[in-house]
Chains A and B, each alone.
Chain A
Amino acid sequence: MAKLHGARIKRQEDPRLITGNGNFTDDIKLPGMVHARVLRSPYAHAKILSIDVTQALEHPGVLAVYTGKDVNPVMQPVPTSWVVPGCNIKPKPRMPLAEEKVHYAGEGVAFVVAEDRYIAKDALEKIKVEYEELPAVTHQEDALKEGAPIIHEDVEGNLAFDWQPAEIEDEIFEQAEVVVKQRFYEQRVVPNPMETRGAVAQYNSGGGEMTIWCTSQNPHIHRMVYSEVLGIPESKLRIVAPDVGGGFGAKIGVYTEEALAGYAAKHLKRPVKWIEERSEHFLATNHARDEVIEVELAGNKDGTLTALRVVNTANMGAYLSTMGAGVPTIDFGLMITGAYDIPKAAVRTYGVYTNTTPTDAYRGAGKPEATFQIERAIDLFAHEIGMDVLEIRRKNLVKKEAFPYTNAMGLNYDSGNYQLSLEKALEMANYEELREEQKRLAAEGRLMGIGFSTYVELCGLGPSKVAGAIGFQGGLWENSTVRVHPSGKVAVYTGASPHGQGVKTTFAQVVGEKFGIPIEDIEVYSGDTGSIAMGWGTYGSRTTAVGGGALAIAADRVVDKAKKIAAHELETSPEDIELKDGVFQVKGVPGRQRTFQEIAKSANMAWDLPEGMEPALEAQSFFDPENFVYPFGTHICVVEVDKDTGKVELKRYIAVDDVGRVINPTIVEGQVHGGLAQGIGQALWEGTVYSENGQLLSGTFMDYTMPQADFFPEFETAYTETPSPVNPLGAKGVGETGTTASTPAVVNAVMDALRSYGIKDLEMPLTPEKVWAAMQNRRELV
């Protein structure tokens, strides 16, 4: 049988999805189902003086109109689930509906349930809300100023937290030969999965059980939280994430609308569906990034880096969303030195409340921001001392011999070979020739630029004891069950809840490899708390590293038991049995064998099992890794900037990633491609704009640029394989590498193209208008 691990196998999930046979939340239709809509605040900051729902209730087809007064006393607030310790954190409970005051444009004020979704939408117009508008503040630096509008009365100065895990003596910077300082603004972006959020809730008033189908990346976390919010025991609450059309972090978060659907279903004794419109999604689903990052990088004229100090002023929005506080602190702050051996580092992060949609994790979550600042700063440092940006990287990248390497913030990088990926990328790019081409074009007056990103990121979340220490209100182990049916067909259940990552395929490959059976014989199930014991979901590039780890262990346990049964039937000892190509074979005695299917039948029939053995062939594992994993790589971006229009043309993009052992190269490439689109999107096109009074101006796809396939050149991808020692598969995680690495590679390339103008930095997105204006403002120095 051909080897499955490492094989380019087509995604098993695709036939049903591309033939329209998927089952997304909005596809679920239950008898008697009714439809909900949310009335959202038009103001970013206002007192609610009165709400009159009389006319809406009289609207034909309307079953109920709930306001904060109705639901807040009988439901619990949605909590902040990452309570970062030691930073005087002030999370604000998020009530199901705003009652006294609205804190951002789009905050829910009323919840209407009607016979269909159009009636519900019409009824929204009949709710009369009287507001008293208050001054609003949308930018974090403004919100920290004296006299700024106060978002939450008891949070002084709008400071949600002040996190400073380490400091450096000023002398190090004062005495350094070279210090570069730069302020970066990592602009706010909106995660836009193809499927917006939604929920269908059904309650059985006889038994008190509730099922909520919803667009979740982590149904067990949603169960844990909604159980409290709704007051329904976890044992009676089932959360199902059916097919989920992408999440990118935005569906980790626990929100109010899904819980309100649950409440309404219980109250009305009818199934309730709520589906978010795209324009609603822009307002109501977590945004991301929005961090002002000030960097000081110190070192010597020979290019040695000695210290890094970073201050991050992060816009948290109006509430500390589910994982929001962890992003600019733990995820960002502990990774600021990136892939470089910088002996000293310090970070301080201010989390700031503003009158904007809350921010939370988005593909990479903190690591893209960390990578951006160090990759940009190291280029600025190289320019300052007149060194090539490649040479400064070669000089400072953590050496292969140093692993496991502890960075200046105390994180232990599991394994790596940064030089290998760098050299491979240079070879693919034909770097020397690129620089020659750049010179030739410059002579013609054309602006070509080459940008690097030699990154490392923290993935595979992660050891649960670390989760506890950093205030993450959950575990980070993972669970897998492998169940062998009497026929020898296999069902795999994973607590990681994939939603587009191709895990039905890769997990089947892992099990197929272990058992020697074709992947067609293996079905992977996920997303249902009713059939899966427990799990923590898909985010932080953890599914293969942690969930796959649990899977490998469970599969090995099945093999162990199967070998005992085979040994019993073949009258030998289990040590003398080997499993090869789906056959249990007595070593050295050809023909004395049992097939995998025969053993499956024996185990399940249990007519003749070894003394004391329980029937069936099934194993479960709860795997908690000892460390995070640290994927890394080198990305090289080549651009040309049009002198007349400022338009950035992506000429080439080379990505060499090391994501540990690769199970399916095609799926890895798909993950890299998607990540690149999002990371490059941030560099060049995406950006959220608020008006002064807190209105979201970029609230549609007409105003917010979603990258499209034809924006990109053919990506040139490759990988190196440095196994991780911390999980059985040696996997490192690939979901976020593209997003993490690409943003600075693109900006570095554009800045390289603009060097002759003396332009050091521009704020993203690098739109033609911005680049053109910058070129007009500076005389070309050549």
Chain B
Amino acid sequence: MKLEYSFKFSEPREEVWNFLQDEEVLRNSLPGCKSFEKDPDKDVYIAEMGISIGPIKGIFHGEVKQLNQEQPAYYKLKVHGKGKPGEIDAAADMFLEEEEDGTRVDCKADAQVTGVLASAGQRVMNGAAKLILGQFFKAVDQEMKKTAGKNA
């Protein structure tokens, strides 16, 4: 499944970059995130997320990896998750573009799924994935607003 999604932040690019790379922000912003810890040996995050896609619900255990960082313009996000409804293998190119009044993040993702996720979830997956991404970016945005509030 291929997917494109864009989100507009009102903050400058460096600031958005820092937030998107921040472990604490990610933990608070990932929808359904139950745990999110960095594996010090492998430079990956070990995550546990509750995901609901159409008729399919389940807890996914997996690894999240951020790589090929070209601060502050680009990084690659790799997710491998496994749960009762199947497995998710996703790679996303994240582009941060400076705009006049903030930063646009463009996400271009390609995901492979197995199991019930594939056989029953495929029809609604695109919509659900966009919803999840939207929730994520909105949550990051909230985190940024909160921090800005504290700093002010």
> Is A279 a contact partner of B119 (Cβ separation < 8 A)?
yes
Known A693-B112, A695-B113: A42·B120 in contact at CB below 8 Å: no
- Which of A198-206, A256-264, A661-669, A699-707 lines the interface with chain B? A699-707
Partner of A703 from the list B112, B114, B123 (CB cut-off 8 Å) is B123
> Is B120 a contact partner of A700 (Cβ separation < 8 A)?
yes
> Is A699 a contact partner of B119 (Cβ separation < 8 A)?
yes
Known A42-B114, A43-B114: A125·B84 in contact at CB below 8 Å: yes
The answer for the CA separation of A42 and B80 in the assembled complex, in Å, is 14
Chain A residues lying within 8 Å of B112, measured Cβ to Cβ, are 691, 693, 695
Chain B residues lying within 8 Å of A703, measured Cβ to Cβ, are 119-120, 122-123
Count B interface residues, CB 8 Å.
14
Chain A residues lying within 8 Å of B115, measured Cβ to Cβ, are 42, 695
The answer for the CA separation of A520 and B15 in the assembled complex, in Å, is 86
Known A42-B114, A43-B114: A696·B87 in contact at CB below 8 Å: no
> Is A699 a contact partner of B123 (Cβ separation < 8 A)?
no
Kindly state whether residue A684 has any CB partner on chain B within 8 Å: no
Chain B residues lying within 8 Å of A522, measured Cβ to Cβ, are none
Q: Which residue of chain A has the shortest Cβ distance to B112 in the bound complex?
A: A693
Q: Which residue of chain A has the shortest Cβ distance to B54 in the bound complex?
A: A702
Kindly state whether residue B131 has any CB partner on chain A within 8 Å: no
Kindly state whether residue B139 has any CB partner on chain A within 8 Å: no
Known A42-B114, A43-B114, A105-B114: A696·B119 in contact at CB below 8 Å: yes
Chain A residues lying within 8 Å of B114, measured Cβ to Cβ, are 42-43, 105, 693, 695
Taking the closest CB of chain A, its distance from the CB of B2, in whole angstroms, is 11
Kindly state whether residue B86 has any CB partner on chain A within 8 Å: yes
Contact bitstring B86-113, A, C-beta under 8 A = 1, else 0: 1100000000000000000000000011
> Is A691 a contact partner of B84 (Cβ separation < 8 A)?
no
> Is A695 a contact partner of B119 (Cβ separation < 8 A)?
yes
Chain A residues lying within 8 Å of B116, measured Cβ to Cβ, are 279, 699
Kindly state whether residue B128 has any CB partner on chain A within 8 Å: no
The answer for the CA separation of A575 and B122 in the assembled complex, in Å, is 74
> Is B84 a contact partner of A696 (Cβ separation < 8 A)?
no
Kindly state whether residue A283 has any CB partner on chain B within 8 Å: yes
Known A43-B114, A693-B112, A695-B114: A700·B119 in contact at CB below 8 Å: yes
Taking the closest CB of chain B, its distance from the CB of A567, in whole angstroms, is 68
Interface size bracket, A side = 10 to 19
Taking the closest CB of chain B, its distance from the CB of A767, in whole angstroms, is 14
Kindly state whether residue B118 has any CB partner on chain A within 8 Å: yes
Interface residues of B in 16-35 (CB under 8 A from A): none
> Is A691 a contact partner of B122 (Cβ separation < 8 A)?
yes
The answer for the CA separation of A700 and B120 in the assembled complex, in Å, is 6
Contact bitstring A687-701, B, C-beta under 8 A = 1, else 0: 000010101111110
Known A42-B115, A105-B114, A693-B112: A699·B84 in contact at CB below 8 Å: no
Contact bitstring B106-150, A, C-beta under 8 A = 1, else 0: 000000111110111011000000000000000000000000000
Contact bitstring A74-106, B, C-beta under 8 A = 1, else 0: 000000000000000000000000000000010
Partner of A697 from the list B84, B86, B87, B119 (CB cut-off 8 Å) is B119
Taking the closest CB of chain A, its distance from the CB of B76, in whole angstroms, is 20
Q: Which residue of chain B has the shortest Cβ distance to A698 in the bound complex?
A: B119
> Is B118 a contact partner of A691 (Cβ separation < 8 A)?
yes
Taking the closest CB of chain B, its distance from the CB of A151, in whole angstroms, is 18
Chain B residues lying within 8 Å of A698, measured Cβ to Cβ, are 119
Chain A residues lying within 8 Å of B86, measured Cβ to Cβ, are 42
Taking the closest CB of chain A, its distance from the CB of B24, in whole angstroms, is 31
The answer for the CA separation of A304 and B123 in the assembled complex, in Å, is 48
Q: Which residue of chain A has the shortest Cβ distance to B82 in the bound complex?
A: A42
> Is B87 a contact partner of A699 (Cβ separation < 8 A)?
no
Interface residues of A in 17-51 (CB under 8 A from B): 42-43
Kindly state whether residue A372 has any CB partner on chain B within 8 Å: no
Q: Counting chain A CB atoms within 10 Å of each CB, which of B112, B122, B123 scores highest? A: B122
> Is A702 a contact partner of B87 (Cβ separation < 8 A)?
no
Kindly state whether residue A584 has any CB partner on chain B within 8 Å: no
Kindly state whether residue A161 has any CB partner on chain B within 8 Å: no
Kindly state whether residue A184 has any CB partner on chain B within 8 Å: no
> Is B118 a contact partner of A695 (Cβ separation < 8 A)?
yes
Known A42-B86, A42-B87, A125-B84: A696·B123 in contact at CB below 8 Å: no
Taking the closest CB of chain A, its distance from the CB of B86, in whole angstroms, is 6
Known A42-B86, A42-B87, A693-B112: A702·B118 in contact at CB below 8 Å: no
The answer for the CA separation of A702 and B118 in the assembled complex, in Å, is 13
Taking the closest CB of chain B, its distance from the CB of A124, in whole angstroms, is 9
The answer for the CA separation of A125 and B114 in the assembled complex, in Å, is 15
The answer for the CA separation of A698 and B118 in the assembled complex, in Å, is 9
> Is A282 a contact partner of B119 (Cβ separation < 8 A)?
yes
Chain A residues lying within 8 Å of B113, measured Cβ to Cβ, are 695
Chain B residues lying within 8 Å of A693, measured Cβ to Cβ, are 112, 114
> Is A279 a contact partner of B118 (Cβ separation < 8 A)?
no
Chain B residues lying within 8 Å of A697, measured Cβ to Cβ, are 118-119, 122
Chain A residues lying within 8 Å of B122, measured Cβ to Cβ, are 691, 695, 697, 703
Chain B residues lying within 8 Å of A43, measured Cβ to Cβ, are 114
Taking the closest CB of chain A, its distance from the CB of B61, in whole angstroms, is 11
The answer for the CA separation of A702 and B123 in the assembled complex, in Å, is 9
Taking the closest CB of chain B, its distance from the CB of A694, in whole angstroms, is 9
Contact bitstring A669-699, B, C-beta under 8 A = 1, else 0: 0000000000000000000000101011111
Q: Which residue of chain A has the shortest Cβ distance to B116 in the bound complex?
A: A279
> Is B120 a contact partner of A279 (Cβ separation < 8 A)?
yes
The answer for the CA separation of A42 and B84 in the assembled complex, in Å, is 11
Chain B residues lying within 8 Å of A125, measured Cβ to Cβ, are 84
The answer for the CA separation of A693 and B112 in the assembled complex, in Å, is 8
Chain B residues lying within 8 Å of A699, measured Cβ to Cβ, are 116, 118-120
* Residues of chain A at the chain B interface (Cβ within 8 Å): 42-43, 105, 125, 279, 282-283, 691, 693, 695-700, 702-703
- A-B contacts, 12 of them at CB < 8 A, read A42-B87, A105-B114, A279-B120, A282-B119, A691-B112, A691-B122, A695-B112, A696-B118, A699-B120, A700-B119, A702-B55, A702-B120
Q: Across chains A and B, which 3 residue pairs bring their CB atoms closest together, nearest first?
A: A699-B119, A695-B118, A42-B114
Given contacts A691-B112, A702-B55, A703-B123, 9 further A-B contacts (CB under 8 A): A42-B87, A43-B114, A695-B115, A695-B118, A697-B122, A702-B123, A703-B119, A703-B120, A703-B122
